[in-house]
Chains A and B, each alone.
Chain A
Amino acid sequence: MQIIDSEKNGITILNVSGRMDATNVNEFDTACHAKLENDVSRMVIDLKDLEYISSAGLRGILSLEKSVRAGKKKIAYCAMQPMVADVFKISGFNSILAIYSSLDEALAALS
């Protein structure tokens, strides 16, 4: 897994690529919580390059989502590949998270 962060219009974008699984989800947790502690208030998790996610990855996403809501911040997810979209759907995540088909739509939603 690789995580690249950038910023657009004051919104932090985390591009997560590769695989998010039991062996590396802690890297995702660390990267996200570092952002939240640095007073980032709006964040997009760009999933266009994420090929694989397991329930360990879902734990990371849910824990991030809980922290974001507890801190009254905003977050959106975008551009899921079919495997990741399937896992989100089966787990009911697509009805509880703000998910958009493209980065532009996600950015617009948080603006």
Chain B
Amino acid sequence: MKRLKMPAQTEQLQIVNAFIESNVSSALVPTMELVAEELLVNVFNYAYPSDKEGEAEVGIWEVDFDGQRFFCFRVKDWGTPFNPFREAPVPDIMMSVEERPIGGLGIHLVRSMVAHYCYSHVDGANIVDLYFSFPEKKESR
């Protein structure tokens, strides 16, 4: 697995983007950068108490799952246990502009963009694994 460990700070997103750009095929880059940002911003803002420096790690590897190939992207942190897929509220995307709360769309975007999503809490770490279908061999958009 290719890995990148970083202090839990928003400024690290640029380094994460460069890491993604150098490790997956170009058609997947925008989607993977999006899910990376959504998950990492949550980690940076909420996983650790504000007076404590925390860390996050991302990883990229390939998986053969039930005979199908995927690019996998992992976000790991050692902060408060948090399963974003169960604990983040599900937004009502049909709501009008006036009624809509600002925010709360990040995890909805993550769920919608990947083939599979998976959360585990192992050895004191939150681990989110996201599975991306291999892009078909055609022009990237």
A binding-site residues for B, Cβ under 8 Å: 21-23, 51-52, 54-56, 58-59, 62-63, 65-66, 69, 82-83, 87, 90-92, 95-97
Contact = CB atoms under 8 A, between A and B. Distances in A.
A52 B30 contact: yes
A59 B102 contact: yes
Given A22-B41, A51-B30, A56-B37, A69 B10 contact: no
Nearest to A56: B41
A91 B98 contact: no
Interface of B: 10-11, 13-14, 30-31, 33-34, 37-38, 41, 91, 93-98, 100, 102-103, 105-106, 108-109, 112-113, 141
Q: Is the interface of B mostly helix, strand, loop or mixed?
A: helix
8 contacts: A21-B13, A23-B14, A54-B37, A55-B105, A65-B97, A90-B108, A91-B93, A96-B97
Contacts of B30: 51-52, 83
A60 to B, nearest CB: 9
Given A21-B13, A22-B13, A54 B97 contact: no
